[in-house]
Structure 1
Amino acid sequence: MKPNVLWIMCDELRADAISAYGNAHPEIQTPNMDRLAEAGVLFESSYTASPVCVPARTSLVTGRRPDETGVWGNEAHGDQAHAIAPDLVTFPEVLASAGWSTRDFGKEHLPPALSPWQSQDPAGSSMRELVQGVRDAGGEIIRTPGMGFAVAGTWPEDRDYPPEAITRRAIEAMSEVDEPFLVRASYLQPHTPVIVPEPWASRYEHVDFAAAPAFADGTSRFETRFAEVNGGHDMDPSDFQRAQVAYHGAVAWLDDQVGQLIGALERLGLAGSTVVVLTSDHGAHLGEDGAYGKHTFAPQSHRVPLIVVDPRRDVPGTRRADLADGTDLARTILGACGIDSPPQMGGRDLFADPAPEIILSAIGYGAAQSRAFPNRGIGTGHHGGGWPQRFCARTRRYRLDMTTRIDGRTAEPDEADLFLADSLADPLERTNLAEDPRYRPIRDWLAAAVRECADRAYQPDDHSVYETFVPPVGG
């Protein structure tokens, strides 16, 4: 019997926001997501292929990293002429050709050249609609000083909350389809600016979120500059607290949607024949080191939740520490459906293939015109030029990230801006060991792996990606 697939997709959902992953605040509970973890497999060491929306989402559906797709940043979303790798195939298309009905509800955010779904309904995924709704009601949007990065707001109580349509339409689709289905409920939440209605908006007002930590000595120039551009280091402590309350309130709202989706599967008699996957495109900074949003390889931005429930597998409550990344989703879902993956699809089947020693992630075009926030044209690199391209290599123990391309050329050795962390000894990855001679063999090994990957990367022209760039909403 062909299984159904329900893919619950979130945006900027940190792994540590879920209580099953060990939220630092015991008052914060996500009972429905925890229920999924108790029924299936929770991957503790899962990372995004890129800590920004469009490249991460491209990797999820194609099983290929940004250096293989040519999609390095959100600029690819609005550029009709943007060159991506010619051999890309998406796993929803493979499922459709094998007889699955594929339907997507909510946020898609892919390059125009990719159209994975037989049916795609974006209702409820517009950030502009949420921000405008708060403004129309006279509400306040919390912003960082300086560039004014929008962080959080409260949805007006007298209006329907648009993202609820995603849950409703996904449930309708699961109840209507006779053939096996792939249904994705793709939520914008808890993407910044986090805009959530009551009672979730104030649910965690009683929780005391400690002040964000300051930078550790020796962090990379890349992360320091990102925080400087972002401006969160000058946030008023009360705004920091309110932003934390809003974010975790949005996660609580999201957990409620997960409960509704699980309940619908049970009510429709589909729970025993449906594979359920919960994940996110990337995580998010919540004021740590003055940063909001994503964009770095720090664990709060790079690490993502990944929970897979397959009712045919006798593995309830399993926790796995082997490395997983965004490219693994495609082969894993195809494998669960009994379908061979196309040879051009990367990643691995998490239930059939051995774990890798290293996973690689990447972000940024490294063009002279690149900016940290291209939708606003803000954020030059620390050198005053374009925002750099950067790679990350992870093992079970270590993280190394480095600049590989800057101002449209390969970065020189003194521009690499190496950061190395021992993730076991330093779980928050705040101490830079790159210049410690005891770690030089590890540093050089991982840096060589990055350079080899960067040297053969699919790079679009330095200018073309910006010529027709239409700033995306969100991402």
Structure 2
Amino acid sequence: MKCFPNIIYFFCDELRADALNCYNPGRGLQTPNIDFIAERGIRYDSCYCNSPVCVPSRASILTGLYPKDMGVYHNEAAYPPFKLHEQYETIPSILRRYGYKTASFGKIHLPNGMFSFEFINEEGSEMHMGLNLKMDLAIKILPRGGFRSILGSTYPPDREYYPGRVTRNALDYMKNQKKPYFIRISYLQPHTPIIVPKPFDTLYENIFFDSTIKVSDGLSRFEKRFAEIVDAGTLTPDEIRMIKVYYYGLVAWIDSQVGYILDYLKSGGEIEDTVIIIGADHGALRGENGGLGKQTFHYTAHRFPLIIYYPPKIPMGRVEDKICENLDLGPTLFHLLNIETPSQFKGMNLLQKLEDHEVYAEIGFGEKTSYAFPNKRYGRYYGDRGWP
């Protein structure tokens, strides 16, 4: 029987590429563990999601399909009455055919009915009891009142930082699991509200962050309305700066969690024979065009980091700047494992020589189950504009 390597997929929510030192050097960002992976693997500098919203983007990654192929246009698809038109193949369902054990730890947030991992543990994510804890806590400790105040602050040091359980549960699974396994370690962080444990809350308090709200000319009606809803324009320069201090600090916390996994792999001599992937569903606005979070195609929300490490087949320190998209992950992984890519997967193998091409992305809005009411507009965006 063919011997396959273990696969560990670190997956984050609202992770901007420029929050990692390997993508944004010279700023003093402290992400040494992710840097370690990038220095020894391949880093994709122009990777874009197929939807700047959690559920459709996550579904595209696992199925290799565009959101329109599945009728998944927004986060409402995660809940009834939404139903998938059919059951689709996913990366974990395909890997199971080759003897892989598949497990997901942390946030799931997939379309209703699309749960393709054999083992799922959501402890430490917003889809379990951690959501109420996190949101209630944010409301209690932030100095601004109301919905718009849920932006970021320090987690009380006398309480367990619940998201750390995602890492611990994944480690426990790895220690008791025979090869081969495919594990997705899925953090809610650094998603808004940005609640940061000490000492990461003050890690960057002395580093300069741009605290101005820059709005591009000719914003679409959608972007203007989005900016009105999140109301970032009413934030003071110091509040904008602190949002960024907390955000980048929380990314440093994620890096520390990656470090725990790497330490385990190194101690067991497995680091050289494990596929490691760093990825996200999308990026995040942090005041750009008056927005916070995602929902538009501004490059800070549309772009996300992608790093793939596997020493036996990937040259050290390679950087690829050609455009790619998140549904390319499946075909790339299948090529790496030397297994056939199912015809369902529309992406391309990112380990081959890449040529410039277009990325198709979409978002639906305005209906409770928006799969039937996608936004039909399309086009190109230029500079800082986030909508065609």
For the criterion TM > 0.5, the same-fold answer is yes
CA-CA distance at 1:37 after TM superposition: 0.8
Name 1:430's counterpart in structure 2: 384
Q: Which residues of 2 match residues 102-113 of structure 1 at below 5 A?
A: 102-113=102-113
Q: For 1:131-169, what per-residue CA distance to the aligned partner results, in whole angstroms no more than 9, with x for missing partners?
A: 22455xx522657x8x62621122110011111111111
Task: Choose between structure 1 and 2 for higher RCO, CA contacts under 8 A separated by at least 6 residues.
Answer: 2
Name 2:311's counterpart in structure 1: 311
Q: For 1:318-340, what per-residue CA distance to the aligned partner results, in whole angstroms no more than 9, with x for missing partners?
A: 10011111111112222222221
Amino acid at match of 2:291: A
Q: Which residues of 2 match residues 67-466 of structure 1 at below 5 A?
A: 67-79=68-80, 81-86=81-86, 88-126=88-126, 127-134=131-138, 138-140=140-142, 148=148, 150-352=150-352, 354-355=354-355, 357-365=357-365, 367=367, 389=375, 400=380, 420-421=381-382, 429-430=383-384
CA-CA distance at 1:389 after TM superposition: 1.9
Change (3 A) 1:208 1:352: closer
Name 1:41's counterpart in structure 2: 42
Unpaired runs of 5+ residues, structure 2, are none
Q: Do the aligned partners of 2:299 and 2:384 also contact (CA within 8 Å) in 1?
A: no
SS in 2 for 1:389: coil
SS in 2 for 1:362: coil
Amino acid at match of 2:326: G
Which residue of 10, 13, 16 maps to 1:11?
A: 13
Task: Give the whole-Å Cα distance in 2 for the aligned partners of 1:390 and 1:252.
Answer: 38
CA-CA distance at 1:392 after TM superposition: 5.5
CA-CA distance at 1:230 after TM superposition: 1.4
Amino acid at match of 1:310: Y
Q: Highest CA radius of gyration, 1 or 2?
A: 1
Name 1:444's counterpart in structure 2: none
Q: Do the aligned partners of 2:213 and 2:233 also contact (CA within 8 Å) in 1?
A: no
SS in 1 for 2:229: helix
CA-CA distance at 1:182 after TM superposition: 0.3
Task: Give the whole-Å Cα distance in 2 for the aligned partners of 1:169 and 1:284.
Answer: 27
Name 1:466's counterpart in structure 2: none
Percent pairwise identity: 35
Unpaired runs of 5+ residues, structure 1, are 372-386, 394-399, 401-419, 422-428, 435-446, 448-475
Is 1:62 equivalent to 2:66 in the alignment? no
Change (3 A) 1:141 1:118: farther
Change (3 A) 1:141 1:249: farther
The Cα RMSD (Å) is 2.4
SS in 2 for 1:26: coil
Q: For 1:50-84, what per-residue CA distance to the aligned partner results, in whole angstroms no more than 9, with x for missing partners?
A: 101011111111111111111100000112x3232
Amino acid at match of 2:6: N
Change (3 A) 1:176 1:287: same
Change (3 A) 1:247 1:431: closer
Change (3 A) 1:391 1:128: farther
SS in 2 for 1:242: helix
Q: Do the aligned partners of 1:59 and 1:327 also contact (CA within 8 Å) in 2?
A: yes
SS in 1 for 2:22: helix
Change (3 A) 1:134 1:240: same
Amino acid at match of 1:364: G
Amino acid at match of 1:55: P
Amino acid at match of 1:344: Q
